[in-house]
Amino acid sequence: MNNKGMENTDYIKHHCDHYLGHRYDHMGKRKYGDREVDVCIIGAGAAGSVLAYELSKAGLETVVIEAGPFWNPQSDFASDELAMQNLAWNDTRLVAGNNPLSMGHNNSGRGVGGGPVHFTGVFFRFHESDFRVRTMDGAAWDWPITYRDLEPYYSKIERDIRVSGPRYFPWGAFHGPYPYPEREPISANSQVFRRGCDVLGIRSTVAPLAILSAPFDGRPPCTNRGFCNQGCMPNAKYSGLIHHIPKAIGFGAEILSDSMVTKVLTDRSGDRVTGVEFVHDGKTYKQKAKIVIISAFVVETPRLLLNSATPGHPNGLANSSGMVGKYIMPHTGHDIYGKFDEEIRFYKGTPVLAVSQEFYETDLHRGFIRGYTFNAHGSRPVSMARTLAANAGIWGKQLKEIMLDFNFYARITLVGEVLPYEHNTITLGNEKDEYGLPRPVVTFSYGENENRLIAHGVARANEILEAAGGQPAFVVPDTAHLLGGCRMGDDPADSVVNRFCQTHDIPNLYICDASVFVTSGGCNPTETVMAVAARTADHLIQNAGRGGQKREEVSRGKVTANAR
């Protein structure tokens, strides 16, 4: 990707090779060069950062290859929505289906830290039921792991990055307390949400957040500037860029940034992977590794597997089941706006400071299964106006008038569960990108369950806004997040990886990111992405030195979190 003509032309030159005591703007001094390392991780996002940290800490030789830059928050980030669209994966994805997805800034990060560099920081555990949708609701599938398997890793991640949250969290299996105190004060937008909930007897809490409420590790607490989706300049918000990756470098990891992995390499038999091929600045390089972990997110992970097809794996690597790229799931992301007589000014404060999961679990009286989370969700002018125009068809005089009342709106976002459907897929298109690789096609259509869930959630959100003293104003359809495409399972015939994120087909190839999700849950997913990564790291560490990766026994007992 070139940055030519991009408004925020970087005025610091990014280095592309980083390891302890070394930073280079060329590939001539790589730490391992032609040598085979223990682990090569593709993508330094939410999952990749945790893996890099845990594995290098355990003494494994680790190289992380990241397509985007190693951002410098002070000189690369800015308090500006338009310029900061460059934090996203802007490469063109082809979209199809009845509800073609917005990609880019809406769900895909690029650069060290990945999605969390511009995420909102709302940090939930999944509920026990999320792992057992088949058993409980007779739809979708159960995960091969349970809440109990992830529980120690949720706690570990929360502790490691000092998640802030309420003293008592009313829903799910975990009721707090969180390592850091809840945020105080909360924004006006979150206050009116809680006011409306109170009137209706709906429980709400201050949001659990991957954002500091007190100093930690040389980083300050949040200053409420509200630009979380543009990159946090004070470093109050978590991302691997400022936490796990620098620490991994301290433990000996090497990070190669601005380097796009274009192929995973296999040996002649095709039974094992041997490393990866990547492109930096137009030139192709190789990194050999005993174990390769793909953590490139829901679109690029399946795409890389499909693009790495060999005569022995004609349908793509790890795809003997045909499941690579299938069953992708966004969340519903409908924004419900209410207008108030008083000024709300929802540009102020961390965007989400209050939430409710009162409608999270299945209640068949509602006419659909599963449920959703409400996030009181602030906004900014570009995001509000653009989605009004592009998603709700409001423009011209009407848009102008609405936007003049910008300060009088409050907003609730409906983060709803989307069931996995076989027709929602990542496939390869006919068109090629700058590397000569087929562009991905992202196909998505809602099902009937989602349409009912959305109708229910929108009605409820409007009731909350009304109870708070507002007038329901408009609903902007949207989606958020993306999950699935390489789902985990015990049966190699209908899943891509096992319960430890090891591919069924190739024992030394792992996939560990949001793509392994079996179901979407009805809340923001990244704590689960990171907990799965920490669990995978534990498994790899326990197996290290056992002479390479053997296929996992499905019945193998769970491993426990590293004592810390």
Bridge partner list, 377: 352
What tokens appear for 161 in the block? 């990055």
206 binds ligand SF4 (CB under 6 A): no
Q: Which stretch binds other proteins (CB under 8 A): 307-315, 396-404, 525-533, 540-548?
A: 396-404
Query: H-helix or E-strand containing 401?
Result: helix 396-404
What tokens appear for 174 in the block? 């975990």
Q: Which stretch binds ligand FAD (CB under 6 A): 116-124, 308-316, 437-445, 461-469?
A: 116-124
The pairs formed by 197-204 with CB atoms below 8 angstroms and a separation of 24 or more are 197/356, 197/358, 197/464, 197/467, 199/467, 199/468, 200/463, 200/464, 200/467, 202/356, 202/358, 202/464, 203/170, 203/171, 203/356, 203/358, 204/354, 204/355, 204/356, 204/358, 204/374
403 binds other proteins (CB under 8 A): yes
Q: Please give the residues from 123 up to 182 whose contact with ligand FAD meets the rule CB under 6 A.
A: 123
> Binding ligand SF4 by CB under 6 A: which of 70, 141, 180, 227?
227
**Which of these, 239, 94, 88, 142, lies nearest to 517 by C-alpha position?**
142
Please identify, using beta-carbon distances, which residue of 90 and 224 lies nearer to ligand SF4. Answer: 224
Q: Please provide the size of the chain in residues.
A: 564
CA distance 241 to 122: 18
> Binding other proteins by CB under 8 A: which of 59, 168, 217, 223?
223
Bridge partner list, 333: 415
What tokens appear for 322 in the block? 């045909």
Please identify, using beta-carbon distances, which residue of 202 and 260 lies nearer to ligand FAD. Answer: 260
Please identify, using beta-carbon distances, which residue of 232 and 475 lies nearer to ligand SF4. Answer: 232
Torsion of CA 107, 303, 132, 168, to 10 degrees: -30
Indicate which of ligand SF4, other proteins, ligand FAD, none lies near residue 5 (CB less than 5 to 8 Å, by partner kind). other proteins
Q: Which stretch binds ligand FAD (CB under 6 A): 6-14, 61-69, 340-348, 536-544?
A: 61-69
Residues 6 or more apart in contact with residue 150 via CB below 8 angstroms: 125, 126, 528, 531, 532, 535
Indicate which of ligand FAD, other proteins, ligand SF4, none lies near residue 6 (CB less than 5 to 8 Å, by partner kind). other proteins
90 binds other proteins (CB under 8 A): yes
Produce one character per residue of 156-171: b if its CB has 16 or more CB atoms within 10 Å, e if not.
bbbebbbbbbbeebeb
Q: Please give the residues from 235 up to 254 whose contact with ligand SF4 meets the rule CB under 6 A.
A: 236-237
Q: Which stretch binds ligand SF4 (CB under 6 A): 216-224, 249-257, 422-430, 544-552?
A: 216-224
Produce one character per residue of 543-559: b if its CB has 16 or more CB atoms within 10 Å, e if not.
bbeeeebeebeeeeeeb
Q: Please give the residues from 232 up to 271 whose contact with ligand FAD meets the rule CB under 6 A.
A: 260-261
Q: Which stretch binds ligand FAD (CB under 6 A): 63-71, 128-136, 322-330, 453-461?
A: 63-71
* H-only helix segments in 181-338: 188-200, 244-250, 297-307
Interaction pattern, residues 496-515, with other proteins; x per rule: CB under 8 A: --------------------
CA distance 51 to 64: 9
Question: At its nearest, how many Å lie between other proteins and the CB of residue 302?
Answer: 16
Q: Which stretch binds ligand SF4 (CB under 6 A): 103-111, 175-183, 220-228, 358-366?
A: 220-228
Question: At its nearest, how many Å lie between ligand FAD and the CB of residue 280?
Answer: 10
115 binds ligand FAD (CB under 6 A): yes
First to last CA, the chain: 40
CA distance 67 to 16: 10
88 binds other proteins (CB under 8 A): yes
Q: Please give the residues from 173 up to 232 whose contact with ligand FAD meets the rule CB under 6 A.
A: 229
Check if the beta carbon of residue 230 is closer than 8 Å to that of residue 118. yes
488 binds ligand FAD (CB under 6 A): no
Q: Please give the residues from 35 up to 94 whose contact with ligand SF4 meets the rule CB under 6 A.
A: none
228 binds ligand SF4 (CB under 6 A): yes
Please identify, using beta-carbon distances, which residue of 226 and 489 lies nearer to ligand SF4. Answer: 226
Question: At its nearest, how many Å lie between other proteins and the CB of residue 339?
Answer: 8
Question: At its nearest, how many Å lie between other proteins and the CB of residue 107?
Answer: 10
Phi and psi at residue 24, to the nearest 5°: -130, 150
What tokens appear for 5 in the block? 């003509």
Q: Please give the residues from 348 up to 377 whose contact with ligand SF4 meets the rule CB under 6 A.
A: 350
Q: Please give the residues from 379 up to 418 whose contact with ligand FAD meets the rule CB under 6 A.
A: none
Please identify, using beta-carbon distances, which residue of 358 and 513 lies nearer to ligand FAD. Answer: 513
Please identify, using beta-carbon distances, which residue of 148 and 386 lies nearer to other proteins. Answer: 386
Residue 266's Cβ-count burial label (10 Å; 0-12, 13-18, 19+) is buried
67 binds other proteins (CB under 8 A): no
Residues forming contacts to ligand SF4 in the complex (CB under 6 A) are 211, 222-228, 232, 234, 236-237, 350
